Amino acid sequence: MNSQRFAVTDLMTRFIRQIPEGDDRERLMCPDCGHVAYENPKVVVGSVVAEGDHILLCRRAIQPRAGFWTIPAGYMELGETAEEGAAREAWEEARVRIALDGVLAVYSIARIGQVQVIFRARFAEPGFAPGPESLEVARFHWSEIPWEELAFPSVHWALKAWRDSAHGALPAAALNPQEDRRGVHRLPVAS
């Protein structure tokens, strides 16, 4: 992950914020030609990589939260699928080749304009090592996860979502936990 989230809009110093015709919210617009520069949330793709009851974590070499532990994750790139992005990040950060089971969680971090798509994954090949953005990479038994040294709340959430299925069938994707949920009321599902 990096912190370049709003880089493009920083450039738009001559742009103005106004509501385009037919729209209902302010956009960055060119005052000369009326061109609208849409700003959109960014997608983070990542994975909980497990072998038995051991989970792969990376200790971050970069800010934010350098020195803290995270799952392999980062910004999705143009031209790749979410699955490819998660596998690329696992390679870049942990030099591990992974196989994906499916979607473990979809988290929204609205405050920073981020959607995280987290996969459940396993080792496709043995071996791992720190990539350039990691100080170290290690497998932790579930009982030894360094909960106090995790980099982000969503790493907590993803690990707990992993524990709920672990080696069984993958359930419906987890969403933000109750304490960080807002907005849309959900009815109980008829079964």
In the complex, which residues of this chain contact a second copy (CB under 8 A)? Answer: 4, 7-8, 10-11, 22, 25, 30, 35-43, 75-84, 86-87, 98-103, 106, 108, 110, 113, 115, 117, 122, 124, 132, 167-173, 175-176, 182-187, 189-191
Between the CA atoms of 11, 17, 18 and 21, what dihedral angle is there, to the nearest 10 degrees? Answer: 20
Q: From the CB of 145, what's the least distance to a second copy, in Å?
A: 21
User: Closest CB to a second copy among 138 and 175?
Assistant: 175
Contact 42, 75 (CB under 8 A): yes
User: Closest CB to a second copy among 23 and 149?
Assistant: 23
Q: From the CB of 110, what's the least distance to a second copy, in Å?
A: 5
Contact 137, 119 (CB under 8 A): no
Which strands, in side-by-side order, build the sheet including 16-18?
16-18, 27-29, 36-37
Q: Which helix (H) or strand (E) holds 163?
A: helix 153-165
User: Closest CB to a second copy among 160 and 167?
Assistant: 167
Q: From the CB of 77, what's the least distance to a second copy, in Å?
A: 7
Which DSSP symbol is given to 150?
B
Q: From the CB of 124, what's the least distance to a second copy, in Å?
A: 7
R_g of the chain, CA atoms, integer Å: 19
User: Closest CB to a second copy among 118 and 150?
Assistant: 118
Cα–Cα nearest to 155, from 105, 88, 112: 105
User: Closest CB to a second copy among 31 and 146?
Assistant: 31
